[in-house]
Amino acid sequence: MSENSRISSIDIMRGLTLVLMLFVNDLYMPGVPSWLGHRAANFDGMGLADWVFPGFMFMVGMAIPFSIGNRISKGQDNVAISKHIFGRTLSLLIIGVLMLNSERLNPELTGISKNLWAILMYTGVFLIWNNYKEKDNNFFTIISLKLLGAIILVGLIFKFRSGEMANNGSLITSWWGILGLIGWGYLVSAFIYLAFRDSIIYTVLSFLFFLFLNILSKLGILSFLNFMKPVFGVIIEGNVPLIVLAGLLTTLILKKYSKNDYLKTIAIISLIGILSIIAGFFLRKWFIISKIQATPSWGLICNGISTLLFAFLYWIIDIKNHNKWGFFLKPAGENSLTTYLAPDIIYYLIWSTGIPILIYKHSGVPIIVIAGSILWALLMVGLTALLVRFNIKLRL
């Protein structure tokens, strides 16, 4: 399997997890079945929403051997690749923190509404990180647009006031936001791949190390590292890296075995998925299954679900070649960051009008609420496809 070969099931599963993320994020309405949403922090169990995000992080890990492997095949050295990894991580952390703080904004102290601040923030993000088509005569245009985006973000950061005691009312990092968590998981996993390349053994050992770290953290044994947690807490907790590394390991198995025996590849991946779920329920004796608490039992069960789902999709799509059904998921899978961020702009624009445009949110009938959120998620994938046609797509 070459570094440039594209496995359709990866794009389709990534698109599926994104559609489900859009669906569950839109679903916070009365009357919705609890198994579709997030479970409370102290609840021992999980709903669909509790798997969706780790499912996407799993796919982030699966992409690492291809993205970094492609850079290696082009002759880039470790220094150049390291700069790319740090740059991508920093971008994810910045956007994640900005998104996290948008809900903390105090309109009176800041001087603008939450909706306007968020719309301007997302505009700045798209201006800076859009994947512009470079031509001989548009170099200064691209630089000007990126500079404008940077000016917008810097201005918003300095203008921001929350009215809270935390950090004197300015931005906080807190839990880093969804994209920030992805950034930390990517940072760790990308450097592990850069160090050990396609070594399955060292990747497994790295996975076990972060699983052990997650267990120790939840037992309170790592409290002596509390002084580092404001910055490196996601890594010290171990949970996010172990999920991303599970995806990375799955791709390494694909690269090693799929060239000669597809059935063996699917069997190995499926076995890992089953063992992960068994291990997760075994650890449930000591740690409840909780996304909010980021317990090792939850992480392993999510890894097991992701691994088994990928094995099934790989067999259907890449082995049996039944891939036409997933055409509507590909725009999301190939432009994941655009798919995730663009809907937020639509939300804030709608909220700015004060008009109840999303009428299904005011229904107390579960089937109408669920159908409305499904339609919303699919429309947002269509929005991504439309934006891409106009060369609006984010790339870190």
3-state secondary structure of 142: helix
- pLDDT band of residue 312 (cuts 50, 70, 90) is very high
Are the CB atoms for 39 and 50 separated by under 8 Å?
A: yes
- List CB contacts of 79: < 8 A, sequence separation 6 or more: none
Name the nearest CA neighbour of 84 among 68, 97, 73, 66.
Answer: 68
Domain boundaries, the chain: 8-104+172-389
End-to-end CA distance of the chain: 25
Look at residue 126 in the predicted model and tell me its pLDDT: 97
- pLDDT, tens digit, 9 for 90 and up, residues 17-75: 999 999 999 987 667 788 888 888 899 999 999 999 999 999 999 999 999 999 999 99
Look at residue 37 in the predicted model and tell me its pLDDT: 82
Residues 339-360 as b/e (b if ≥16 CB within 10 A, e otherwise) read: bbbbbbbbbbeebeeeeeebeb
Lowest mean pLDDT segment, chosen from 188-202, 203-217, 285-299, 310-324 = 310-324
Where helices occur in the chain by DSSP H, the ranges are 8-25, 48-73, 78-102, 107-110, 114-129, 139-159, 177-196, 200-218, 229-237, 239-257, 262-283, 296-314, 330-334, 336-353, 366-389
- List CB contacts of 223: < 8 A, sequence separation 6 or more: none
Look at residue 5 in the predicted model and tell me its pLDDT: 57
User: What 3 state SS string does 16-45 have?
Assistant: HHHHHHHHHHCCCCCCCCHHHCCCCCCCCC
- pLDDT, tens digit, 9 for 90 and up, residues 367-380: 988 999 999 999 99
Q: What percent of the chain has pLDDT over 90?
A: 80
Question: What value does the mean pLDDT take over residues 210-216?
Answer: 97
Phi then psi for 19, rounded to 5 degrees?
-60, -40
Please classify residue 27 by burial: count the beta carbons closer than 10 Å to its beta carbon, then call 0-12 exposed, 13-18 middle and 19+ buried. buried
- pLDDT, tens digit, 9 for 90 and up, residues 171-212: 999 999 999 999 999 999 999 999 999 999 999 999 999 999
Count of beta carbons in the 10 Å neighbourhood of residue 243: 30
Phi then psi for 113, rounded to 5 degrees?
-75, 160
Report how far residue 30's alpha carbon sits from residue 27's, in angstroms, rounded to the nearest whole number: 9
- pLDDT, tens digit, 9 for 90 and up, residues 133-167: 888 788 899 999 999 999 999 999 999 999 999 89
- pLDDT mean across residues, the chain: 93
Checking if the pLDDT of 2 tops 70, the result is: no
- pLDDT band of residue 3 (cuts 50, 70, 90) is very low
- List, as one string, the DSSP characters of 338-388: HHHHHHHHHHHHHHHHT----GGGG---HHHHHHHHHHHHHHHHHHHHHHH
Look at residue 27 in the predicted model and tell me its pLDDT: 86
